[in-house]
Chains A and B, each alone.
Chain A
Amino acid sequence: MSNRDNENFEPKIVAFLCKWCAYSGADLAGVSRLEYPPNVIPILVPCSGKVDMQFILKAFKEGADGVFIGGCHTPNDCHYISGNYKALKRFTLMRKYLEQLGINSKRIRLEWISATEGVKFAKVMKEFVEEIKKLGPLQTR
């Protein structure tokens, strides 16, 4: 695929946002009217530690070009004590696993975004969409 095609390419991105921090951060981006690309569709989850590796694989299988996971800051912000660490461990493993499947591990991103970080949420969304645009559409078949 040529660079020109990539410029017109609109990636599909699923974002799993934890209820306590990242989802509230995304809400704050809204309240602050911070614009970011509409390619990201959120799914509210109770905790980043709830995000199963199957969810990520399912998203790629259904045609997602990128998957984002947003949780609470380490070490102490997780409402459920250690869910963010569980997410981090799984994420590290997932990146290796994706590479083995031939999927660029940059297609998944994990960020800690607090309820006060609307600016960070918007910034990360912009960056991630740009990154996925550069990578181009995911060819799973």
Chain B
Amino acid sequence: MKDKLPKERVGVFVCHCGRNIAATVDVKKVVEAISKHPSVVYATDYKYMCSEPGQALIKKAIKEHRLTSVVIAACTPSMHEETFRKVSNEAGLNWYKCEIANIREQCSWVHSDMEKATEKAIKITFSTVEKVIRNAPLEPIKMSVKRKCLIIGGGIAGIQAALDVADAGYDVILVEKLPTIGGRMAQLAETFPTLDCAQCILTPKMVAVARHPNIRLYTLSEVVKIEGFVGNFKVTIRKKPRYVDPEKCILCGDCEKVCPVSVPSEFDRNLKERKAIYIPFPQAVPASYVIDPQTCLGLNPIICGECAEACEANAINYDDSEEIFEEEVGAIIIATGYDIYPKENIGEYGYGKYIDVIDSLQYERLVSSTGPTGGEIRRPSDGKIPKSVAFIQCVGSRDVNHLEYCSKICCMYTAKHALMYKHLVPDGTAYVFYIDIRAAGKGYEEFIKRVQEEYGVVYIRGRVSRIYEENGKLILQASDTLTGEKLNLSVDLVVLAMGMIAKKGNRDVANIAKIPVDSWGFFKEVHPKLRPVETSTNGIFVCGACQGPKDISETVSQASATAAKAIELLSKVEIYHEPIVAEVNPELCSGCKICETVCPFGAIKVVDKIAQVNEILCEGCGSCTSACPTEAIQLRNVKDEQIYSMIEAILR
């Protein structure tokens, strides 16, 4: 096999790494042994190869001995591969003509018998020489970048990311499924720990999105297909009809008055009714009414048509129809938000049976000044102001029967809920049932203390086992785990702090975008600490609660982080792709399509009975190469013949 190779001139540089290698591996012996390899024309050792003089030594040797390849026998490639490839590249060698023989982490550091460790180091170095002489010089694959960013989800995460990317001068397409942007935050009354009115801080940002020259907003829209790859995605968007022209709608509300259909309002969590033509909330963006085609009678104007008659602006169009269109973008940010755990799943708390047992988001609407009661806290059953309220934390969360994880925000928002109750009903009593108080955040612990000490909210450590109704009161059976006492507490209203869950639609988005979700359906980041907003698909980023439970401040930080990542990508003139990709020998390829089916990235297509590799989609895993029955497809610089020669070198 060797005589078929072009004459290679290999240099081997064995590092002592101080005593890290040299104490266990006889480096002189390694040099002596490797010098006998027919392709090795120069071998030496040095105390620290990565140091300035070490690097100079390598460069000098490459030039003096006209080396065509180098092997650095030193630490693991994840440590200094880049350093040494850069050094040899500066001396004129191709980036891929330098390989690292790992004789530290996987040799000197794990063995103590010098003779055996030296023998192993020689084998590792020999096998690396066998590989490098068969490495082809490669150049990175260059690609252009579409300077546009797609953002999926128009909650606070999507809004923040959109504004950041657009402010940097790039075009943004913001896609929201619902008729308005704003997401969950728009439903909230106030935010912890500063008690800012949620809408007051959110709606200016919503308006900024609507007005921004670089942002194109598609509401009532969904992404149905994502094709392509980093820098060059092709996305298909489906836009559902609104039946009201936002350009013409002047928000007079005449349509709403005449609409004969009333249904529970999703935005107000069913605490109030809306019409079939409605605006989710007054500050909605786009500022326009919308017809709900599920309940509207008038899409067939013979049956109703009242709103179109009432609309003086002529904004209503029953013939509006669905549109499907394509966009080309360079980066994608996913910010699809969260849902709360369904209360129906927790039967012991009587939700559905007792109308005065409400969930945390219903409570937000109940205390919101724009809510169904205009900011007065009145219980749903009889409209009376509750004189006592029990808040139950960890409903669904930290429970092996429901959600095993902590939803992270419930301790804080429950404290906020209790405080808001005390603001509205100063003489009322608020009880909070908790397991532990988790208030890790700036100003969070102080907030909890204030709620407990200044406002006198009664915190009871224990779980409620059952709730039932008696004479218009709700009775809570619980035990106080600090005193060991059994409690029977009678209150007017119960608020359940429901856990946060991933949206059902996350799995669909994951399939479309080809990114993984964890076992709970939250999107999975590449690394929880160091790459928290990147996904395993290059160019697709995630932020906010679709990635895991988190509060608004964390969501906004993450959204800005994804924007920075997207901007980093969009600002590049060209992007580079590792050239270690699969290539096909057409003479050997039988067109069997096995490679096409095993490729996890859809990078291979058989055209005219010959497999073709899309080099940009190929991630270089080599799945196809091990499945190919004729060895026609090979991974560049990890070819079968390279592995065989390495095996021979190890076992010789």
Known: A30-B109, A46-B580, A62-B652. 13 other contacts (CB 8 A): A14-B650, A27-B102, A33-B109, A37-B111, A38-B119, A38-B120, A43-B643, A44-B77, A44-B102, A47-B622, A52-B643, A76-B518, A80-B621
Could you say which residues of chain B place their CB within 8 Å of the CB of A34? 110
B residues within 8 A CB of A47? 621-623
Contact between B106 and A42 (Cβ–Cβ < 8 Å)?
yes
Q: Does A132 contact B (CB under 8 A)?
A: no
Whether B625 contacts A43 by the Cβ 8 Å rule is no
The minimal Cβ–Cβ distance linking B130 to chain A, given in whole angstroms, is 11
Contact present for B626 and A46 (CB under 8 Å)? no
Inter-chain contact B621/A46, CB cutoff 8 Å: yes
Q: Would B640 and A41 count as touching, CB distance under 8 A?
A: no
Chain A 18-46 interface mask (CB, 8 Å, partner B; 1/0): 00000010110111011111100111111
Answer whether residue A49 sits at the interface, using C-beta atoms and an 8 A cutoff. Answer: yes
Q: Is B562 interfacial (CB-CB < 8 Å)?
A: no
Contact flags B517-538 to A (C-beta < 8 A → 1, else 0): 0100000100000000000100
User: What are 30 A-B residue pairs whose CB atoms fall within 8 Å in the complex?
Assistant: A12-B650, A24-B78, A26-B105, A27-B78, A27-B102, A30-B76, A31-B109, A33-B109, A33-B110, A35-B110, A35-B112, A38-B110, A38-B111, A38-B117, A41-B127, A42-B102, A42-B124, A44-B102, A45-B622, A45-B643, A46-B621, A46-B638, A49-B623, A50-B635, A51-B626, A52-B643, A80-B600, A81-B536, A82-B600, A86-B623
Instruction: Find out whether the CB atom of A62 lies under 8 angstroms from the CB atom of B625.
Output: no
Q: How close is A139's CB to chain B, nearest CB, in angstroms? A: 15
Within 8 A of B (CB), among A42-71: 42-47, 49-55, 58-59, 62-64
Which residues of chain A are within 8 angstroms of B598 by Cβ–Cβ distance? 86
Q: Are A49 and B644 in contact (CB under 8 A)?
A: no
How far, in whole Å, are A59 and B621 apart by their CA atoms in the complex?
A: 21
Query: Is A122 interfacial (CB-CB < 8 Å)?
Result: yes
> B-side interface residues toward A, CB under 8 Å?
76-78, 102, 104-107, 109-113, 116-117, 119-120, 123-124, 127, 516, 518, 524, 536, 580, 598, 600-601, 619-623, 625-627, 635, 638, 640, 643-644, 646-648, 650-652
What chain A residues lie within 8 Å of B107 (beta carbons)? 30, 38
Contacting pair A41 B124 (CB below 8 A): yes
A36 to B646: give the CA distance in the assembly, Å.
22
Q: Does A83 contact B (CB under 8 A)?
A: yes
With a cutoff of 8 Å between Cβ atoms, the chain A residues found around residue B524 in the complex are 76
Is A90 positioned at the interface, with any CB of B under 8 Å from its CB?
Answer: yes
- Report the separation of the CA atoms of residues A58 and B644 in the bound assembly, to the nearest whole angstrom: 7
Q: Is the CB of A43 within 8 A of B647?
A: yes
Best-buried of B601, B635, B644 by chain A (most CB within 10 Å): B644
Chain A residue, CB-CB nearest to B517: A76
| Closest chain A residue, CB of each to CB of B652 | A62
Residues on B with beta carbons closer than 8 Å to the beta carbon of A42: 102, 106, 124
Q: Within 8 Å of chain B (Cβ to Cβ): is A96? A: no
Residue of B at shortest CB range from A36? Answer: B110
**Nearest Cβ distance between residue A50 and chain B, in whole angstroms?**
3
Residue contact A81 to B600, C-beta cutoff 8 Å: yes
Contact A50 B647 (CB under 8 A): no
Q: Which residue of the partner chain, among B119, B640, B650, contacts A52 with CB atoms under 8 Å?
A: B640
Docked-complex contact B127 and A45, CB < 8 angstroms: no
Residue of B nearest to A12 (CB): B651
Does A123 have its Cβ within 8 Å of any Cβ on chain B? no
Q: How far is the CA of A82 from the CA of B600 in the complex (A)?
A: 7
How many residue pairs between the two chains, A and B, have CB atoms under 8 Å in the bound complex? Answer: 128
A20 to chain B, nearest CB (A): 10
* Residues B111 and A35 in contact, CB atoms below 8 Å apart: yes
Give every chain B residue within 8 A of A82 (Cβ-Cβ). Answer: 600, 623
Tell me the bound Cα distance from A64 to B649 in angstroms: 12
Q: Find chain B residues with CB under 8 A from A52 CB.
A: 625-626, 640, 643
Taken together as a complex, chains A and B put the C-alpha atoms of A6 and B178 apart, in Å, by 71
With A51-B626, A83-B621, A86-B623 already in contact, the answer to whether A43 and B106 are too (CB < 8 A) is no
User: Hey, which chain A residues are within 8 Å of B516, CB to CB?
Assistant: 76, 81
The interface residues of chain B lying within 8 Å CB-to-CB of A54 are 640
Tell me which residues across on chain B come within 8 A of A49, comparing CB atoms: 621-623, 626
Does the CB pair B623–A62 fall under 8 Å?
no
Q: Is the beta-carbon distance between A27 and B76 smaller than 8 angstroms? A: yes
> Once the chains are docked, how many angstroms separate the CA of A30 from the CA of B78?
13
A24 to B626, CA, bound (A): 22
Given A42-B124, A80-B600, are A55 and B109 neighbors across the interface (CB < 8 Å)?
no
Partner of B646 from the list A35, A43, A53 (CB cut-off 8 Å) is A43
Most interface-central of A29, A34, A58, A64 (chain B CB within 10 A)? A58
Given A49-B623, A49-B626, A62-B648, A41 contacting B123 (CB threshold 8 A): yes
Most buried by B among A26, A31, A38, A64: A38
On whether the beta carbons of A41 and B120 are closer than 8 Å, the reply is yes
CA distance A51 to B640 in the complex (A): 10
Smallest CB gap from A122: residue in B:
B110
Q: A80-B600, A81-B536 are in contact. Are A26 and B621 (CB under 8 A)?
A: no
Give Cα distance in the complex from A106 to B172, angstroms.
Answer: 57
The 5 tightest CB contacts between A and B, nearest first, are: A30-B105, A50-B622, A80-B621, A30-B109, A52-B626
B627 nearest in chain A by CB position: A86
Q: Do A50 and B638 form a contact, CB below 8 Å, given A29-B110, A35-B110, A38-B113?
A: yes
Chain B residues within an 8 Å CB radius of A50:
621-623, 625-626, 635, 638
A26 proximity list for chain B (CB < 8 A): 105-106
Smallest Cβ-Cβ distance to A50: which chain B residue: B622
Q: Which residues of A contact B76 (CB under 8 A)?
A: 27, 30
A79 at the A/B interface (Cβ < 8 Å)? yes
Determine how close the nearest CB of chain B comes to the CB of A77; give it in whole angstroms: 10
Chain A residues near B647 (CB, 8 Å)?
14, 43, 55, 58-59, 62, 64
Contact check, B120 vs A31: say whether CB atoms are below 8 A apart. no
Q: How far is the CB of A107 from chain B (nearest CB, A)?
A: 14
Q: How far is the CB of B641 from chain A (nearest CB, A)?
A: 11
Q: How far is the CA of A124 from the CA of B277 in the complex (A)?
A: 66
B638 contacts across to A, CB distance below 8 A: 45-46, 50
**Which of B518, B625, B643, B644 is packed against the most chain A CB atoms within 10 Å?**
B643
Chain B residue with minimal CB distance to A54?
B640
**Min C-beta distance of B525 to chain A, whole Å:** 12
Closest B-chain residue to A16, C-beta based? B643
Residues of A within 8 A of B518 (CB): 76
* Cβ distance A119 to chain B, nearest Cβ, rounded Å: 12
Residues of A within 8 A of B640 (CB): 52, 54-55
Q: Which of B124, B623, B643 contacts A80 (CB 8 A)?
A: B623
Closest B residue to A29 by CB, please name it. B110
Chain A positions 62 through 105: 1 when the CB is less than 8 Å from some CB of chain B, otherwise 0: 11100000000000100111110010001000000000000000
Query: Among the listed B106, B623, B650, which residue makes an inter-chain contact with A30, where contact means beta carbons less than 8 Å apart?
Result: B106
Q: How far is the CA of A27 from the CA of B518 in the complex (A)?
A: 27
Contact status B123-A80, CB under 8 Å: no
A45 cross-chain contacts in B, Cβ below 8 A: 622, 638, 643
| Residues of chain A within 8 A of B110, CB atoms compared | 29-30, 33-36, 38, 122
